[in-house]
Every structure is written in C-alpha cells, then in structure tokens.
Amino acid sequence: MASVNAQIKRGSAELAVLTLLAEHPLHGYEIAKQIEEQTGGVLRFDMASLYPMLHRLERKSWVNAQWQTLPNGRRRRCYRLTASGRTQIAPLRAQWRAFFQALQRVTGFQNA
Amino acid sequence: MPDWKQIVRRKVRVLGICSPEFTEELAAHLEDTYEALRCEGLQAEVAFEHTVGQIEGRCRVWLVMRFLQEELMSGFIPKVAVPALLTSAAACFSHRALELDHIPHRVIWLVGGQLPLWWWCLLPICGALGALLSQRKGGSRLQGMAASLLPSAILCSLVLLIFVVGFTMSGFVNHYQLVSARLESLGIVPPGFGLVPAAFSLLGAGIAEVSTKTSRLA
C-alpha cells in the first residue's frame, strides 16, 4: 500500500477525526485504531501527531474531552464532537472535494 | 503489566510544563497498544519494546516538538506577540527616558560594547511584565516565557542577519571588524546585546511565575 505524504496526511487528519467522532465518542487509541483500520493502514497516526491535534481541536472547541471510567475500571479520556465541531465537517468536506476535483482535472486521475 | 504512567513521566520529562492529565492520556494509549499487541500473540518483552518505541528516539523528539509547537502557537497573537511587543516597548522606553534625563550611570562591559547598569536592573521587570500580560490573557508558562524572550530573540536574529549580510557584502577577512563597527554605530553591540538581556528578561519571567504561583497558593 502506498504511503501518504506527511503534509497531505496532516491536512486530512482533522476531517478524518471529526468524521469519526460525528458517529460516536472515542478515546485517543480508538481514534488511531479506527482510522488505521478504515483506511487499510494508509493513514496511520502516531502519538506525536494524534494528541497535539486532538488538543488543538479541543482548544478550538470543536471537540470536548472528558475522563470516563470503563467497565474494566480503567480511565480513558473520551473525545466528543461539539455542535461547533459538527458545523466544520461540511466546509472541510467541500474543500477536499474541490481539491480532488481540481487534481482530477489536472492529472486525469479518477476516484475509485 | 508495566507501569506506563511512570514510563511516560520518565521518557517525556521535558514536558514537565504539560499537565498530569496529558501524561495519563499518553500512558493510557501505551497501555492499550501493549494489550493489543499481547492479544495478537506477541511475547511480553517484544510487545513492551514495540510499545515503548512510540515514545523513544525520533518519536519522542517529534512528540515534544509538536507539543511545544501547539502549546506556543495556540493564541499566539494575544498570548505571546502582544505581550512581547509591550515588553519590548517598555524596555526601549525606559532606556530612552533615562538616557534623556542624563542620569549618571555605571556601565557593564560586554563583548564589544557597554550598556548602563540601570537598564540591566529594569530588564527583569520588563520580562516579568511580558510574562504577566501573557498570563492575564490565559497564556501558559511556556507562552509567558516566550513573551518575555521574544524581543531578545528578534534582536538576536537581526544581529545574526546583519552579520550574514555584512559578511556577504564585505567578502573579505576583516568582515568581523567592519560589521561590528557598523552595528556599534547603530547602537547594537554583538553578541551579548541579545543574549544577556534575554537571560535577564527570562529571570523576570521566572520571578513573575513564582509570585503568581505563591499568590494562588495563598
């Protein structure tokens, strides 16, 4: 599987995380795991890229985080999408759509 | 099961400026990673090595850098740039005002030049001012330090830039004397002019931080 350039990955990370959190709240490890699984390993987040980004989203009030105690007694910090974060998804999607369409016009590549 | 909190604390000690919450969050991530690897059938030692590798070497450097970058750049204008600008203005104003009053002063000699003693005494106050203004805007400890250091950092960068430009323009062996003379004619004394004030400003920021913490405890 081809690897993705770090700059592209960084740009797409926020959309990927917000979209995942729109479905249900998740903690950091689950977010990383689900993105890796759903993209077949193309997008993979290590701690250095995931947590600073989650904290940035939290500061922007796009997500909020709360400590929760799991059934096994362990504490995990769960991230939940806020109303403000939910409104960001559509513009981000539109930006990426425009980007891919422009790229398609230039390179002739087709989406699968 | 390894004590992941202890491991994270030891590995990212440099992030002492970050909250215990963040440490716990990273520890939880490592714990989950370790358990997943164990479930995949890896031996305990191998799983431990894989897991701990996420906060070692290059990964550790990246984590620290990304964290500091995020910490510093969030609300950069109100929490760092504006307090730094005011710090710089206060330092320049006090320098100019006391100079105009023709107050007799002792001077401190640095490499290649001199600066008045009273200005050194005022610098920690200016540094503390920057840090306090940053705190009032909700800035972190790191941002307070950056606010007090930014004027000196900009000055150092300018001095370096002038050196490089001077070197390129002069292009001969005695460029140092030539550039030094030019800088001194502009009132800029390399290299202590940037570094020593930075240390004094940082001292002020440290005092401001300690006094704020003390007043909170009281």
Which of B5, B12, B25, B35 is the mutation pick for testing A, counting most A CBs within 10 A? B25
User: Is residue A27 less than 8 Å (CB to CB) from chain B?
Assistant: yes
Q: Which residues contact B107 (CB under 8 A, 6 or more apart)?
A: B114, B115, B116, B117
pLDDT digits (tens, 9 = 90+) for B82-138: 888 887 787 777 767 766 666 555 555 554 455 666 667 777 888 888 888 888 888
User: Is residue B67 less than 8 Å (CB to CB) from chain A?
Assistant: yes
User: Is residue A10 less than 8 Å (CB to CB) from chain B?
Assistant: no
The confidence score (pLDDT) of residue B154 equals 78
Q: Domains along chain A?
A: 6-107 (1.10.10.10)
Alpha carbon of A65: minimum distance to chain B alpha carbons (Å): 11
- Which helix (H) or strand (E) segment holds residue B64: the answer is helix B57-73
Residue B22: its chain A contacts at CB < 8 A?
Answer: 51, 55
The confidence score (pLDDT) of residue A101 equals 87
Mean pLDDT of B66-71: 79
- Print the SS3 string covering chain A: CCCCCHHHHHHHHHHHHHHHHHHCCEEHHHHHHHHHHHCCCCCCCCHHHHHHHHHHHHHCCCEEEEEEECCCCCEEEEEEECHHHHHHHHHHHHHHHHHHHHHHHHHCCCCC
Confidence of residue B186 (pLDDT cuts 50, 70, 90): low
Above 50 in pLDDT, residue B50?
Answer: yes
What is each CA distance from A70 to A74, A75, A76, B73, B214, in whole angstroms? 5, 6, 7, 34, 37
Confidence of residue A3 (pLDDT cuts 50, 70, 90): low
Distance CA(B178)–CA(B136), nearest Å, equals 44
Confidence of residue B143 (pLDDT cuts 50, 70, 90): confident
Above 90 in pLDDT, residue B2?
Answer: no
Amino acid at residue number B76:
F
Instruction: Find the angle CA(B173)-CA(B167)-CA(B197) to the nearest 5 degrees.
Output: 115
- Is the CB of A47 less than 8 angstroms away from the CB of B36? no
The confidence score (pLDDT) of residue A75 equals 92
User: Is residue A37 less than 8 Å (CB to CB) from chain B?
Assistant: no
User: Is residue B29 less than 8 Å (CB to CB) from chain A?
Assistant: yes
pTM score: 0.67
More confident residue, A103 or B18: A103
Mean pLDDT of A75-84: 94
Above 50 in pLDDT, residue A1?
Answer: no
Q: Which residues contact B110 (CB under 8 A, 6 or more apart)?
A: B189, B192, B193, B196
Q: Is B62 left (phi over 0), alpha (psi -120 to 50) or beta?
A: alpha
Complex ipTM more than 0.90, yes or no: no
Amino acid at residue number B207:
I
